[in-house]
Structure 1
């Protein structure tokens, strides 16, 4: 069984005067949320034998904070295709994961990550899927499991086993006006 964990970058700073969206950094709340999610990942004993991430600044900064809480280096391969990718493009990336990888991490952006979960997990009476469909907030992780190999993953073939939002770990990390 293969496990795919999807991590959306943490909350970024829209007030930062960067010239390109690609260069937008995290804000203070995003840094705090990512570190907390990293600590939670460590407490769950999550491990990855393959990782791919968008090269955007907010993703790199998210990973730095995740690693500080997680207590280990993730060191993903950076893949420009993941930056603001559609679900179809993300699925193409997943199809290319090494066959020997059992547990992989994909770090990127919405709406692609949310759409990928909704594509891969069949619609039905699943409260976790419903929560993803409602909103896939920044710094949230979704864990999906599949039978078979990475290349055979297709629409409706996944089971969503976890969906963890920062506000589930600390209510102060929930929605606000910042």
Structure 2
């Protein structure tokens, strides 16, 4: 059986209010747009989690809620305080307790970038993956019957996306659609 992990770093958060704690920081406008783009990408790619493990921080919870809304997921998240700024070993331990076949895990850097590199059988060698920027999402497959059976260097990367790329692609597609629509109108013969 194949298990699938959708590993997401929270979207871009706001630093506007110096009086709130790090845990309480919400997403900023760019982060909300990025989370929405991730949700549309996941839905369009047919990647639907049946379990969500989400850090208890506001920015991870908000990322999940926007992704869930945009993708039309009907999954309740397990909000885990242990995932807040967690180390890779903590993430692996929490993941080993998962029960879904497709699990989405939303957490923070630097732990998530180390986790993303260490969980792959063959690590991806590029700086974008290594940095794991806000909103970065890796889809990782495991040839295992239960999450308890996975370990370091056991996953295969199926996909990797960052919101900036998704938003650029959506804008490009919208521009092409608008040009096509306007070109269709100008190609229509005019009767006199």
TM-score under structure 2 length normalisation: 0.81
Residues of 2 paired with 1:40 and 1:155: CA distance?
27
Q: Which residue of 2 aligns with 1:176?
A: none
Q: Work out whether residues 61 and 79 of structure 2, in 8 Å CA contact, stay in contact via their aligned partners in 1.
A: no
Choose from 112, 115, 137 the match for 1:141: 137
Pair 1:24–1:45, CA change in 2 (3 A): same
* Within-5 A mapping of 1:20-169: 20-98=21-99, 101-123=100-122, 126=124, 131-133=128-130, 135-148=131-144, 149-169=146-166
Deviations along 1:24-83, one digit per CA (max 9) or x if unpaired, are 111001011111111111111111121110111111111222123212343211111111
Gaps of 5+ in 2: 170-192
Q: Work out whether residues 49 and 102 of structure 2, in 8 Å CA contact, stay in contact via their aligned partners in 1.
A: yes
Q: Is 1:171 the equivalent of 2:168? A: yes
Give the number of aligned pairs.
Answer: 168
Moved more, 79-88 or 64-73: 64-73
Residues of 2 paired with 1:48 and 1:2: CA distance?
11
Gaps of 5+ in 1: 173-178
> For the aligned residues, what is the CA RMSD?
1.9
Q: Radius of gyration: which is bigger?
A: 2
Moved over 6 A (4+): none
Residues of 2 paired with 1:117 and 1:47: CA distance?
20
TM-score under structure 1 length normalisation: 0.87
Query: SS at 1:17's partner residue?
Result: coil
